[in-house]
Amino acid sequence: MSARLLPGRDPAAIAEAAAVLLRGGLVAFPTETVYGLGANAFEPRAVARVFEAKARPSFDPLIVHLADAAGLEQVASAADPRVRPLAERFWPGPLTLVLPRRPGIPDIVTAGLETVGVRVPAHPVALALLRAAATPVAAPSANPFGYVSPTTAEHVIDRLGDAVEIVLDGGPCPVGVESTILSLAGPPLILRPGGVPREELEAALGCPLPVAPPSDRPTAPGQLLAHYATHTPLRILAGRPAPRPPAGSARVALLAFRPAEVEGYAAVEVLADDGSFATAAANLFAALRRLDAAGVDLILAEPCGETGLGHAIMDRLRRAAAAGRP
């Protein structure tokens, strides 16, 4: 099977994609963060095909996507008084809440956990699909397990084109890094930094929020130390890039945060012409994929500050850098 690429703004394409979901097929769709690989959350066999397509370990739970917060009760318990205000403030948007699950949600979605991750994505194509299908949609990022997440429809076709029936094209994802995952199943804890800055969540909840450290025995595989990785080894620089690559080194690519006067690198990507975290986040995964395809031996990445979206950017770079190490 090879995927059909359909325009996400076309109502006929949305109707067709919704029908595919309802008969147990897979649809890749854009969200504001990254493209998702969706299956009907109440169809365990369809969800199993998502794991198969991604070669994803079955212990890894999926995020359930909803058309609106009213759908929450179908999949999770929203009894916690913190849920409503967070949903009102941040949904639709790049925040995933981990909450106690409802019994009806299949085990394969939650990987057998007593909790479920849920979010309402802020993308017109995703919302149109969720409304048309009228069912919660379980969707991980639409990339092979461990690889860089997709931020364009072409990224999805490149790596998963054989595994999905329809890819809805919504252009490049505006946020560019995945949702922030906040667990409210116990004491509030950020399981993965992402599109909603920690500072905004702390302000909304009125308490400091610890961030779960990356580990090799995570409760969420997004916490895996080596994840979001290029095949090419990646190293994070201590500061601004040197004007030239290290003498005598093999072919080296540069991932610069802001514009830099450099020469001699085999490839250069600048994440933020304007120096902003938002621009850098939106460009991050596409730039990593281009450098990974440039045939170099090493990618050197310039670090950025760790406030706001900078936290998620540095988190993804550190995990990519960890992947090549023993």
Minimum CB–partner distance for residue 248 and ligand TXA (Å): 39
Q: What share of the chain is helix, strand, coil (3-state, %, to 5)?
A: 30, 20, 50
In a 10 Å sphere around its CB, with 0-12 CB exposed, 13-18 middle and 19+ buried, how is residue 94 labelled? buried
Minimum CB–partner distance for residue 30 and Mg ion (Å): 15
- Whole-angstrom CA distances from 318 to 36, 73, 186, 197, 225 are 23, 36, 27, 18, 8
Minimum CB–partner distance for residue 113 and ligand TXA (Å): 5
Minimum CB–partner distance for residue 227 and ligand TXA (Å): 8
CA angle 137, 138, 143 (to 5 degrees): 120
- Interface with Mg ion by CB under 5 A: which range of 141-149, 265-273, 279-287, 302-310? 141-149
Pick the closer one to ligand TXA by CB: 6 or 173: 173
Pick the closer one to Mg ion by CB: 115 or 141: 141
Say if CB 101 and CB 1 are below 8 A apart.
no
Pick the closer one to Mg ion by CB: 152 or 256: 152
Pick the closer one to Mg ion by CB: 40 or 141: 141
Pick the closer one to ligand TXA by CB: 131 or 244: 131
From Mg ion, ligand TXA, none, interface partner of 98 (C-beta below 5 to 8 A by class): ligand TXA
Compute the distance between CA of residue 211 and CA of residue 181 in angstroms, rounded to an integer.
10
Compute the distance between CA of residue 25 and CA of residue 47 in angstroms, rounded to an integer.
9
- Whole-angstrom CA distances from 186 to 90, 164, 316 are 20, 36, 25
Compute the distance between CA of residue 274 and CA of residue 263 in angstroms, rounded to an integer.
21
Minimum CB–partner distance for residue 34 and ligand TXA (Å): 5
For strand 27-29 and strand 166-169, is the pairing parallel, antiparallel, or unpaired? Answer: parallel
Which residue number places its CB atom closest to Mg ion? 141
Say if CB 47 and CB 55 are below 8 A apart.
no
| Binding interface with ligand TXA (CB under 6 A) | 31, 33-34, 36, 60-63, 94, 96, 98, 110, 113, 115-117, 121, 139-141, 178-179, 181, 191, 219-222
Compute the distance between CA of residue 60 and CA of residue 49 in angstroms, rounded to an integer.
14
Pick the closer one to Mg ion by CB: 198 or 316: 316
Minimum CB–partner distance for residue 139 and ligand TXA (Å): 5
Pick the closer one to ligand TXA by CB: 94 or 310: 94
- Interface with Mg ion by CB under 5 A: which range of 135-143, 184-192, 255-263, 292-300? 135-143
CA angle 173, 7, 167 (to 5 degrees): 70
Contact with Mg ion (CB under 5 A): which of 33, 141, 152, 183? 141
From Mg ion, ligand TXA, none, interface partner of 181 (C-beta below 5 to 8 A by class): ligand TXA
Rg value, the chain, Cα:
19
- For residues 181-211, b (16+ Cβ closer than 10 Å) or e, as one string? bbbbbeebbbbbbbbbbbeebeebeeeebee
From Mg ion, ligand TXA, none, interface partner of 139 (C-beta below 5 to 8 A by class): ligand TXA
Pick the closer one to ligand TXA by CB: 96 or 230: 96
Q: Which of residues 182-221 bind Mg ion (CB under 5 A)?
A: none
Minimum CB–partner distance for residue 323 and ligand TXA (Å): 15
From Mg ion, ligand TXA, none, interface partner of 220 (C-beta below 5 to 8 A by class): ligand TXA
Number of residues that bind Mg ion (CB under 5 A): 1
Q: Which residues bind Mg ion (CB under 5 A)?
A: 141
